[in-house]
Amino acid sequence: MFIETRQLTKKFGGLVAVNEVDFTIEKGKINAIIGPNGAGKSTFFNLVSGSYTPSSGQVFYKGKDITKLPPNKIATLGVARTFQTTNLFEQSTVLDNVIVGHRLRTRSNLLDAVLRTKRYKLEEKKCRDKAMEVLDFVELTHVRGELAVNISQEEKKRVAFALALATDPEVVFLDEPTAGINPGETEGLAALMEKMVKRGITVCLIEHKMKMIMKLADKIMVLNYGEKIAEGTSEEIMNNQAVIEAYLGGDASA
């Protein structure tokens, strides 16, 4: 098992946002989580990436229980994520925004920085090279010198991908990666996700754009009111009665 959740539950006061969800994320595949608005998708993401602590249940990563680990420790283990809104430092260049992404693989500290030790120089270069590499991967080399404030929405999404990739992850969680961009750009990002999988990085994403998901995802889980109502390949999901009801009955935001 690559990533597995067991009876994962999160309550806010009396409200159950995620209710006893069992889910496995398969290595080297594109895994998707869909569901109507307010179905608990983002909460589920936050639980797996450590941003929230679950009320009950567990999360396993490569057989290791990571339920109680803080997000930064989870990131070190090789789990990266993006947010719906991309918080970039706008007065800084794209490259600069990405360099810090590899910080977790370095050890140089304050003294190294002040004394400019060999380790500092080595690691500065390592992070810079990593940033160049991932920017090349997300096809942003041409804008790496631009200030983050001046790049397009789609490019910002790619920077967010790059930042996540700079942490050398084995799995990347993408929170609505294509929200707010046009169909053409969406396809570009979908291709990028496939490229990531080819590189051996597992992808797990939340998405609203059904058409794209059905084409892209190898495995889909559907959440509704915090509960898993279906899981499987896109054909299985499309023919699932519970899913059809959830989408027709509720707010079909597909």
Q: Which of 9, 24, 51, 240 binds other proteins (CB under 8 A)?
A: 51
Q: Looking at beta carbons only, is 110 or 248 nearer to other proteins?
A: 110
The answer to whether 180 contacts other proteins (rule: CB under 8 A) is no
Q: What is the rounded CA–CA span in Å between residue 165 and residue 169?
A: 6
Token readout for 156 is 């910002």
Stretch near other proteins under the rule CB under 8 A, chosen from 30-38, 58-66, 108-116, 184-192: 108-116
State whether residue 144 is helix, strand or coil.
Answer: coil
**Closest CA relative to residue 151, chosen from 139, 166, 137:** 139
Q: Which of 7, 22, 68, 70 binds other proteins (CB under 8 A)?
A: 70
Q: How far is the CB of 141 from other proteins (least distance, A)?
A: 9
Count the residues of the shown chain that bind other proteins, applying the rule CB under 8 A.
Answer: 46
The answer to whether 104 contacts other proteins (rule: CB under 8 A) is yes
Stretch near other proteins under the rule CB under 8 A, chosen from 64-72, 179-187, 195-203, 213-221: 64-72
Q: How far is the CB of 67 from other proteins (least distance, A)?
A: 16
Contacts of 122 (CB under 8 A, 6+ apart): none
The amino acid present at 238, given as its one-letter code, is: M
The answer to whether 56 contacts other proteins (rule: CB under 8 A) is no
Long-range contacts of 7-15 (CB under 8 A, 24+ apart): 7/56, 7/57, 7/58, 8/44, 8/47, 8/48, 8/54, 8/56, 8/57, 8/58, 8/59, 9/54, 9/55, 9/56, 9/57, 10/40, 10/43, 10/47, 10/52, 10/54, 10/55, 11/55
Stretch near other proteins under the rule CB under 8 A, chosen from 54-62, 70-78, 181-189, 245-253: 70-78
Stretch near other proteins under the rule CB under 8 A, chosen from 20-28, 164-172, 177-185, 193-201: 164-172
The 219-224 sheet, strands edge to edge: 79-81, 171-175, 202-206, 30-34, 219-224, 227-232
* Residues at the site binding other proteins, with contacts judged by CB under 8 A: 12-13, 15, 49, 51, 70-72, 75-76, 80-81, 83, 87-89, 91-93, 95-96, 99-101, 103-104, 106, 108-110, 112-114, 116, 120, 123-124, 127, 144-145, 147, 150, 163-164, 166-167
